[in-house]
Amino acid sequence: MTAPLLYTYRRCPYAMRARMALLIAGIPFAAMEVSLRDKPPAMLAISPKGTVPVLHLPSGEVLAQSWDIMRWAMAQQGLAQKSAQAKQWWEKAQTAENLAWLVKNDGLFKHHLDRYKYPQRYADEDPISHRDQACAEFLLPLENCLQRSVFLGGDSPCATDIALFPFVRQFAAVAPDWFEQAPMPAVKSWLSFWLASPLFEHCMRKLPSQTICVFPAYAGASSGLDKLFNIG
């Protein structure tokens, strides 16, 4: 194996953040779109928990957490040395406030999101109550934060933005009409930016199921971050 192999699932928010980080870093990688009903034995052999994403490195090392994959991608020679702006993209995500956003997203917000999005899995739970709790405990504080700055990285995005975005996207998609009228203009503007970004469009390219293939390189990775994210 000469390139990292990413086991992924197109609609999984954890896998989205891993793919976007690899694309931003300009790291060539192979990918397999996993069928969740028929998980490949090779993936289960290196990561028995059976969740995506999983990144199998040429060294044999296995990264089975999306934030670890993002950290590895940012540490590779290339992005970290391209510019001070690129270095800040990761460093801004390491502030206490942004690390706290990551913890709240992957814990509290994901808890409410699952019970809102999949009521059939949680028959004893009230999905509307979890929707409202997600708003009160996560999205409205995020709204206040994004009212102060356009991105969680300030005037430009940082790794925390793409770590949270796929989950907010899922939340908005549960009931689009309800979300559209929700009093969160800054969150909606931030979400719209990411949904329209060339990076996200590239990240969501469809791959053949259960087949290892080279993930298409993202041309924007060779540009400055402003062009990468289509800012300005």
What is the pLDDT at residue 223?
55
Residues 35, 157: Cα–Cα separation, whole Å: 32
Name residues of the chain where pLDDT drops below 70: 1, 77-86, 220-232
Convert 181-198 to b/e letters by CB count within 10 Å (16 or more is b).
ebebebbbebbebbeebe
- 34 within 8 A of 9, measured Cβ to Cβ: yes
Q: Does residue 194 share a domain with residue 92?
A: yes
What string of DSSP letters covers 11-38?
T-HHHHHHHHHHHHHT---EEEE--TTS
Q: Which structural domain range is residue 56 located in? A: 5-82+202-228
Residues 37-53 have pLDDT tens digits of 999 999 999 999 999 99
What is the pLDDT at residue 197?
93
What is the pLDDT at residue 86?
63
Q: Does residue 207 share a domain with residue 193?
A: no
Q: Does residue 188 share a domain with residue 124?
A: yes
Residues 11, 68: Cα–Cα separation, whole Å: 19
Is there a cis peptide before residue 198, judged by omega within 30 degrees of 0? no
Q: Does residue 177 share a domain with residue 155?
A: yes
CA distance readout (Å), 140 to 125, 128, 137: 22, 16, 7
What is the pLDDT at residue 229?
63
Tokens of 38: 């028929």
What is the pLDDT at residue 112?
98
Residues 135, 140: Cα–Cα separation, whole Å: 6
Residues 65-96 have pLDDT tens digits of 999 999 998 888 555 455 566 677 888 999 99
| Number of domains forming the structure of the chain | 2
pTM score of the predicted model: 0.93
CA-based nearest residue to 162, from 151, 170, 154: 151
